[in-house]
Every structure is written in structure tokens, then in C-alpha cells.
Structure 1
Amino acid sequence: MARRIDDGPRPKHAQLSDVLAELAVRELGPDVAIPSERELMTTYDVSRATVRKAIDNLVAGGLLHRIQGKGTFVARPRVESRLHLASFSQDMLRRGLTPSTRLLRVDEERPPAEVAKSLRLGARGTAWRIDRIRLADGQPMAIEQGWYPTSLLPDLDAEDLSGSLYTLFDVRYDLVIDAAEQTLWGEAAEGTTARRLEAPVHTPLLVFRRVSSAAGRPLEHVVSRYRGDRYQVHMTLGPTSTPAPTPTRTTRTTRRDPS
């Protein structure tokens, strides 16, 4: 029997959110559709506005997701990652997921000025551009565009690029990624990116720009766009390691006129 939604101290949309959350977790499971808005209105004797607000709350929280023209479904649990220096393949394997790759392109090009500078390519240096879609258990998780110096990685286009590039660099070129600088921001999936990630338009994306090096030599400049409804990041924070400035004593010197 459906739980009653009443006029108590909690708003009706909040009560309905609780009901739908319990339904999603205990009875339905990932990728299963929840009842339609009309069914929910009838079952719980609430307005359409109440139903939509309840569903919006759960979509925002990541428990549900909408597919245009199909309905609202229980979302798959997000893959959680701690920020650390590892390849996508290594990251997914640690979580018990099977990584795979769709290679979109690999070409030798002169990269944009920002990339050329970060890779220290000089005026004429080139890099391999590698575009890939990364999947976990067959589900598109991220799309990435990476740049890698051709001078350090000759004939990279002849190698198998479907797995971990970090492992390939180590085994084939004796180059171990040992440091990186990474920046994170948010975007919304649009156009080609949304289609390749098989994501509804406006799906939130977590975007990472990483510049990695091996023994002090820049080896990678990659931008990865992860589906925000399938991926989340965990960070452990602590006090800043930057020491407080030490007060300095100012000495006033009086200059005497030699005359």
C-alpha cells in the first residue's frame, strides 16, 4: 500500500521525494523507469507541481535521471575517484569495473599555442593528437583529447592505444609519468560531445585538464570530460601547507647630505 502524503509539517514534495527514493533503491534499481507523473499524481493524491518538484530534487541529487521523450529512470551509482596520479584504466580497474576505449583519431599535428607551451615544443615541434572515448563496463564515461610530444614518443600511432597510455609509455618508451598539474571545472554536454557520451543534452560534465611529466619532461596535455551523472570526485582536505609570512623588521636609513 502506498505511503500517505499528508498536510503535515514537511512539504508534500519532500515527503514524495522520500517515497520515490525508497522505491528507487529498494524495489526498482538502476536503469528502471519510475512511475509516470500521472500515476504518481493519482497514487499519492498530489498535484503535478508537487510531483515535478519531488522528482527534480532527486535528479539534482543524482538518484534519478531523465531521458528526453522516454521518462525518468533510476540512475546508476556514480563511480567515485580520489584525486591521484593514475590512468583512466587503472582508476576503473581499482573500482572493479572493466575499462575499454573507442579510438576516434590519432594524428601528428602542431598543437594550439597553449598546448605547445605546456609541452615545451618550441617554435616547430609537433605532438600526437589522440581523441578517445573511455568506457566503464561498456558505458561511456568520458571523452578525452590528449597531446603527446612526437619527439619523445616516435611511432606512437603504430601502437595499441586502446588501453592505458601510462603503461604503454612505461613499457615501450621507458617513460614513467611521475608528476602532474590538474585543473577541474564544470560544463554542460552539448552537440557532438553529448552524442559521443550518449548523454542527454545539458548533462553536467566534470572537465579535467592535466599536464603530466616524466622525470621533469612534459609528456601529456589532456582534457577529459566526464559525465557528471556517472562520476564524482572525492578529496581529502587539510590545512594549507604554505607557511605564514614571517614578519620583517623595517630599518629606516637616514641619508645625510655629504655636502
Structure 2
Amino acid sequence: MKIHAELNELLNEFYPGQKIPSERVLSERFGVARMTLRHTIESFILEGRLERRHGSGTFISNQCYSLSARCRSFSSEMASRGLEPTNKLLISKIISADKVCASKLRVPLNSKMLKFSRLRLGDEIPMAYQTTIIPVSYIGNIEDHELEGALEDMLQIKFGIFITTSQTEISGDFVEQKVSKLLEITTLTPCLVKETIDMDLHSRNIMWNKTWYNAERFKIKFDAACNVRELKNPTAS
């Protein structure tokens, strides 16, 4: 169809993540009925060229990024893809460790913990929502602005804590409405949930992170080694 070719040519002028004009504006520009234009847009959505964001409009689809299952920070993940990683601190507070938290971080029940949430971005595009819990006994006082940088760097420089190993679990889930708005998705958009326990040189559980990634934007990458089994020569005596 002519409208498909014309819209395709227009979309080539936009960059990934950019919002395209409204259906009303586009239908007037191309001189077609809004229903015709809507069907054309839907075809581009099915092709993966466009994506709808609830309450925001229609955007050029972002690239799908690989999410390593290995111990790797968000900043490293973004930098390896040529994206500028930034963080927006949403909330930070002191809590008492409940049974789950105490078990995860191997601390006494009711220990003081620093809990904070951040929106993690790549080139200013929302990539993930993350909650982090750290025992206060390991870090003392931290200013809010320090939580907007790379945590591993801050822990090394300020407290001499070096993260050496990480236990990771990856599952699928949905997010509540307030988080979906931050990630610019709907509550029906599936998310990859990466839960990690970071440990230091002394085998202490330093951080418990839980990160929600838009599953339409990320895929999991596993690196696996195969065991080579020596086969006996069936013709040998």
C-alpha cells in the first residue's frame, strides 16, 4: 500500500526511542482516514518497528539488548553497548531487617539496613527499576547523591569494600502501576527480574539487588562451556 511506503519513509527520519506524531497529525499529512493509518501503524508494531507506550504515544522501537547472566554491573552493561548509564534516586530510607532480608544478607534479625530504589537509564531512556538493600553496619552514613553513581565504585573508594562474587537468579514477573509508569510500559508488559546477592573479599553478603527490566527490550545471554568427552574407538580391540 502507498501509505505503508510513505510512513516507512517518514519513520526513517526518526531515531530509536523517539516519539512519532499522533494519528491525527499523520492522517492529515498523508490524506488518509485515521482507521487506515491506525492499521498501518499496527503493521509496523507487529514488525517490531514501532512500539506503543501506555499514556505516552507511539515510539520508534529501541534496540533489544542482551542482559548477561554473569556478575556484571548495570553501568558495565550499558557502557559495553555504547550507552551512557545514569541513575535517578527515587527513595532511600533506613529499615529493620525482616526474616527474608536477614537471611539474604546473613545479618541478625532487625538489623538496620539502608534500602533505596533507583530508576536506571541508558542515554536517558528508562531501562530498569532497581531496589537495593545494604547493611548499615558495613557502610555507615551515605549521602543521597552518592547513590546516584556506580555503587561498586563508591563502596571501593569510600569504604574499601571490593565486590568479588555474585549469586544471581533470573525470573519473569509483572510490575505494579507506579513502576510501569517509570519504565514507560503497561502493567501487562512482562519483565525480566534479576536478583543478585553481591559478596566481598571476606565472603560477606554486602548488597541485595532486585532489578526489573522490560522483557521487550532485553534478552538474557548465557555463556556456557561444554565438557568434551573422549570417545572410545569402537573398532579398537
The alignment's TM-score, normalised by the length of structure 1, stands at: 0.70
Q: Which of 220, 241, 246 is the equivalent residue of 2:207?
A: 220
Which residue of the partner structure matches residue 169 of structure 1?
155
Q: Offset at 1:64? A: 2.6
In the TM superposition, what are the counterparts of 1:194-233 in structure 2 within 5 Å? 194-215=180-201, 216-233=203-220
Which residue of the partner structure matches residue 86 of structure 1?
72
Matched, 1:74 2:60: yes
Which residue of the partner structure matches residue 254 of structure 1?
none
Query: Equivalent residue of 1:100, what SS?
Result: strand
In the TM superposition, what are the counterparts of 1:46-125 in structure 2 within 5 Å? 54-55=43-44, 57-58=46-47, 62-68=48-54, 72-125=58-111
**Counterparts of 2:72 and 2:144 in 1: how far apart (Å)?**
23
Gaps of 5+ in 1: 4-15, 242-259
Q: Which is greater in Rg?
A: 1
Q: Offset at 1:214? A: 0.3
Which residue of the partner structure matches residue 135 of structure 1?
121
Equivalent pairs: percent with the same residue? Answer: 22
What letter corresponds to residue 146 of structure 2 in structure 1? Answer: D
Q: Offset at 1:225? A: 0.8
**Counterparts of 1:181 and 1:24 in 2: how far apart (Å)?**
46
What letter corresponds to residue 178 of structure 1 in structure 2? Answer: T
Give the conservation status (yes or no) of the 8 Å contact 2:189–2:215: yes
Give the conservation status (yes or no) of the 8 Å contact 1:80–1:233: yes
Q: Offset at 1:33? A: 3.9
Q: Offset at 1:235? A: 1.8
Give the conservation status (yes or no) of the 8 Å contact 2:54–2:185: no
Q: Offset at 1:222? A: 1.0
Q: Offset at 1:205? A: 1.4
| 1:108-133 Cα shifts (integer Å, max 9, x gaps) | 21133212111111133221101111
Q: Offset at 1:221? A: 0.7
Cα gap change, 1:124 to 1:135, in 2 (>3 Å):
same
**Counterparts of 2:175 and 2:141 in 1: how far apart (Å)?**
33
What letter corresponds to residue 83 of structure 1 in structure 2? Answer: A
The alignment's TM-score, normalised by the length of structure 2, stands at: 0.75
Query: Equivalent residue of 1:236, what SS?
Result: coil
Which residue of the partner structure matches residue 179 of structure 1?
165
Give the conservation status (yes or no) of the 8 Å contact 1:24–1:74: no
Which residue of the partner structure matches residue 237 of structure 1?
224
Query: Equivalent residue of 1:156, what SS?
Result: coil
Give the conservation status (yes or no) of the 8 Å contact 1:134–1:141: yes
**Counterparts of 2:221 and 2:70 in 1: how far apart (Å)?**
10
Query: Equivalent residue of 1:77, what SS?
Result: coil
**Counterparts of 2:102 and 2:55 in 1: how far apart (Å)?**
44
Report how many residues are paired. Answer: 221
**Counterparts of 1:24 and 1:188 in 2: how far apart (Å)?**
34
Q: Which has the higher contact order (CA 8 A, sep 6+)?
A: 2
Which segment is superposed worse, 165-174 or 226-235? 226-235
Q: Offset at 1:164? A: 0.6
Give the conservation status (yes or no) of the 8 Å contact 1:66–1:72: yes
**Counterparts of 1:165 and 1:219 in 2: how far apart (Å)?**
11
What letter corresponds to residue 57 of structure 1 in structure 2? Answer: L
**Counterparts of 1:114 and 1:176 in 2: how far apart (Å)?**
24
